[in-house]
């Protein structure tokens, strides 16, 4: 089952179960995915697009929870964190550091960079290998560490 279909199915189930947090979170996620498909060059709601939207929404909830926490609004922070947890359930498990480093090393061997200035080429290769499984910031950090820049 495609990820978008799974989200749609779970949305209907949360409606039947009257799970308000899950219902509102998945409803918003579905509308964000539909909106993302209408952007120029986006195409259909394939798993890659849904994962990008999911990551963006999780990050948005985490940032909002931090802001609410610093503003002394603990209840709002808990709500944002609960929504982020619902969304994290749809993300694939991320690679650990050893697996990430192994994949980035393979990308470096593939590109054979002449030094730190070829960082962009390494990132393109590594991102192609790891798309959807690891956040871009972690890939960049590993590539910088391995390239010695």
Tell me the pLDDT tens digit for each residue of 57-89. Answer: 999 999 999 999 999 999 999 999 999 999 999
Q: How confident is the model at residue 149 (pLDDT cuts 50, 70, 90)?
A: low
Whether residues 78 and 101 share a domain: the answer is: no
Is the CB of residue 30 less than 8 Å from the CB of residue 50?
A: no
Reported as a single tens digit per residue, the pLDDT across 15-68 is 999 999 999 999 999 999 999 888 887 777 788 888 889 989 999 999 999 999
- Please state the domain count of the chain: 2
Is the CB of residue 87 less than 8 Å from the CB of residue 29?
A: yes
Whether residues 22 and 68 share a domain: the answer is: yes
Whether residues 81 and 109 share a domain: the answer is: no
Residues 6+ apart with CB under 8 A from 40: none
Reported as a single tens digit per residue, the pLDDT across 106-122 is 888 888 888 777 888 88
Residues 6+ apart with CB under 8 A from 74: 68
pTM over 0.85: no
């Amino acid at each position: 089952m495609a990820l978008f279909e799974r989200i749609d199915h779970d949305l209907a189930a949360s409606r039947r179960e009257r799970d308000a947090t899950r219902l509102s979170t998945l409803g918003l996620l579905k509308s964000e995915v539909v909106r993302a498909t209408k952007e120029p060059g986006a195409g259909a709601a394939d798993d890659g697009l849904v994962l990008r939207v999911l990551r963006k929404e999780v990050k948005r909830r985490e940032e909002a929870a931090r802001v609410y926490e610093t503003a002394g609004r603990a209840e709002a922070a808990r709500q944002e964190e609960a929504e982020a947890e619902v969304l994290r359930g749809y993300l694939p498990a991320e690679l650990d550091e050893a697996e990430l480093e192994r994949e980035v090393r393979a990308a470096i061997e593939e590109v054979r960079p002449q030094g730190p200035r070829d960082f962009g080429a390494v990132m393109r290769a590594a991102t192609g290998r790891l798309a959807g499984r690891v956040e871009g910031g972690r890939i960049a950090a590993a590539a910088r560490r391995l390239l010695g820049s």
